[in-house]
Structure 1
């Protein structure tokens, strides 16, 4: 497949065996010592252990004051110290102090041009401007039975992209805009099946059955993910299928047969519930595929990986979790334009739009008289639609 998608190698890493890479990384003596220092509740004891020193409290206090970070500042500095917000990886603003006129640093000159002081007194963190940081739930560690030890578990971040359309329109190729919907943080010891369960997609939540004859039964219909449970990940020439349910199918079979006729492959198969993240060999920054509901395909990218630190949530049950997500726009009713859509209709001769979105009130008032359908149309409930209106 590298022959077909080799151009992605320019922006991706080499193939990394995650378990081997982090074992070698964690075996470094200084990293173990640093983890011991950070996880040591008695900071003084941890520092003295690393320094291999034995000093009394008075000498330690003098040493701490001498080595304090406050001593790194000098009189007349242009900027005051600010809180480090990088650990949050969140969208936010940072207040900028007045830039001195007698400083000729090129960086400050460019900064002044960028923010246009005094008209724009804030600098926006543009990297995460379209994403919302999801704060993890605070769990009291003394109530947890299973906690991770810093440095002994890896944390992997996976970017999930929205499904997109790629089709030919006459002689041109039409490709819809590709964007990230959410970023998942998952432990190396967890499986691909657990990764699949945390991925959120509207097609999983839709109602698979047409209910125009009895719309009141729409909410009682099973969601698509409860009916069509098959799916797979394609990572490094391997299709990882979900076989947790005995009725699940191997959706990759038709793809493998198609590829075989075109001399592509060979490809391997495995069950996603038996494969852990740390057992994978992946390229970071390279697009892989998650497919579900038969034809709904998402690109996914392994974007980052690191060892769990003492500042992370050490509760195993808190993972996998949504780390960041993209804000989505609401689809409004095409009739009133006020309420969010909760119904979608198709093949309705009385409407200029196909499909057409309705809120609950407009759907019933336009398409039914005394509970009976007007003309012919198909109706489906929309996930995340509006609540019942009075």
Structure 2
């Protein structure tokens, strides 16, 4: 891992928690709550009613379900944020006063909504110039291509006994900056599931490449996950590459100072249940597969399974960010659809081109030129 990537990892994640032994966590919670399947509403109704926010949710739902009101709220918020950034850039230290709105120019329902908002007495409700320090523009990874939870067809039976749920985010390197990582997906796993379930759930573009790309070869079919000083590898049939052992060999060749801190795990990905591990929340765990495709697994939460959680379908996919498409290297306007390897007419190899640019180039007379279609992204939705 290079220095720039290490700095990025330290700035994006953490500080990590202490080690959490999943088995000990389940044993401790089972003693505190022997009947884990009992809904909390059956024995603490007063607390549930006191903490209920149904009235706030109903009001918000009524506003957002009204196109006129929701459009007004969004437009007004964007105008306020733009004004705050404009004032800050000009180094205006004076606090921004809320301008008087002309309620006569607004429709009746919008003016009533704005009067209710202006009547809120909370001083923290309105944005001031100091709020700019805590604002950020929307990230690409904030968007979710999923409209509902995506369940797994491989798990159709309800879990038995006390189970923990682990919320895990997958972060990947971006093509435009190899030293930066971006969240690509988020999943919910049961503690009885394995590391291989995590690996097989990752929506990675390298799995969509056609066979002629060469990534289906046995030497690229391996995977390694480094967790708390242990390198877990999957079982590769036919004598393929054992990524854990090859990782150790590579670290010895490169004389890495931390080579002694990582050992080959005694169990494979398929044999290692999450309940047998001790994990840290907020710690990025490194995963590599398909030759050199890297990801980082980050444990966001570890909690008990709630009766309202889906009974089957784990692992659940909670979020998938839209894939960042590489633009054509010729026109730099539309996404590329093919990768051309070995063509001397192009300035680089491989070269990513869109369909019209490749058709305008025409086929090459050199037999060694290989044209590989880039994967489609239909499996991400």
One fold, TM greater than 0.5?
A: yes
Say if 1:159 and 1:180, in contact at 8 Å, map to a contact too: yes
Aligned twin of 2:286: 289
Say if 1:203 and 1:224, in contact at 8 Å, map to a contact too: no
Aligned twin of 1:160: 170
Q: Go from structure 1 to structure 2 and tell me whether the alpha carbon gap of 1:67 and 1:192 turns closer, same or farther (over 3 Å shift).
A: closer
Aligned twin of 1:185: 188
Aligned twin of 1:88: none
Q: 2:201 aligns with which of 176, 184, 198?
A: 198
The separation in 2 between residues aligned to 1:197 and 1:68, in whole angstroms, is 38
1:41-120 to structure 2, matched below 5 A, reads 47=42, 50=43, 69=49, 81-82=59-60, 97-98=113-114, 99=116, 101=118, 104-110=121-127
Query: Aligned-pair distance for 1:313?
Result: 1.4
Comparing 330-339 with 182-191, greater Cα deviation is found at 330-339
Q: Go from structure 1 to structure 2 and tell me whether the alpha carbon gap of 1:248 and 1:113 turns closer, same or farther (over 3 Å shift).
A: same
Scaled by the length of structure 1, the TM-score of the pair is: 0.64
Q: 2:26 aligns with which of 22, 29, 38?
A: 22
Q: Go from structure 1 to structure 2 and tell me whether the alpha carbon gap of 1:158 and 1:93 turns closer, same or farther (over 3 Å shift).
A: farther
Aligned twin of 2:104: none
The separation in 1 between residues aligned to 2:355 and 2:164, in whole angstroms, is 46
Residue ranges of structure 2 left out of the alignment (5+ in a row): 1-5, 63-69, 75-112
Query: Aligned-pair distance for 1:379?
Result: 2.3
- Does the alignment pair 1:233 with 2:225? yes
Aligned twin of 1:320: 315
Scaled by the length of structure 2, the TM-score of the pair is: 0.65
Query: Aligned-pair distance for 1:190?
Result: 1.0
The separation in 2 between residues aligned to 1:94 and 1:138, in whole angstroms, is 36
Residue ranges of structure 1 left out of the alignment (5+ in a row): 39-45, 52-63, 85-91, 116-122, 167-173, 211-221
Matched pairs, number: 314
Deviations 1:126-174 (A, max 9, x none): 69972316322589xxxx972236x8322212111113689xxxxxxx8
- Does the alignment pair 1:146 with 2:148? no
Q: Go from structure 1 to structure 2 and tell me whether the alpha carbon gap of 1:127 and 1:11 turns closer, same or farther (over 3 Å shift).
A: farther
- Does the alignment pair 1:309 with 2:321? no
The separation in 2 between residues aligned to 1:113 and 1:266, in whole angstroms, is 45
The separation in 2 between residues aligned to 1:282 and 1:343, in whole angstroms, is 40
Query: Aligned-pair distance for 1:185?
Result: 1.7
The separation in 1 between residues aligned to 2:51 and 2:332, in whole angstroms, is 60
Query: Aligned-pair distance for 1:240?
Result: 0.7
Query: Aligned-pair distance for 1:250?
Result: 1.8
Larger radius of gyration: 1
Query: Aligned-pair distance for 1:374?
Result: 5.9
The separation in 2 between residues aligned to 1:244 and 1:157, in whole angstroms, is 28
- Does the alignment pair 1:300 with 2:297? yes
The separation in 2 between residues aligned to 1:191 and 1:287, in whole angstroms, is 18
Query: Aligned-pair distance for 1:203?
Result: 2.4
Comparing 284-293 with 156-165, greater Cα deviation is found at 156-165
Q: Go from structure 1 to structure 2 and tell me whether the alpha carbon gap of 1:307 and 1:228 turns closer, same or farther (over 3 Å shift).
A: same
Deviations 1:345-377 (A, max 9, x none): 133232345443234465355332xxx736863
Aligned twin of 1:264: 260
The separation in 2 between residues aligned to 1:70 and 1:287, in whole angstroms, is 38
Deviations 1:34-83 (A, max 9, x none): x4136xxxxxxx84xx48xxxxxxxxxxxx9x99959999xxx9997435
The separation in 1 between residues aligned to 2:32 and 2:23, in whole angstroms, is 15
Say if 2:173 and 2:179, in contact at 8 Å, map to a contact too: no
Q: Go from structure 1 to structure 2 and tell me whether the alpha carbon gap of 1:224 and 1:360 turns closer, same or farther (over 3 Å shift).
A: farther
The separation in 2 between residues aligned to 1:283 and 1:68, in whole angstroms, is 31
Q: State the SS of the aligned residue for 2:309.
A: coil
The separation in 1 between residues aligned to 2:221 and 2:211, in whole angstroms, is 12
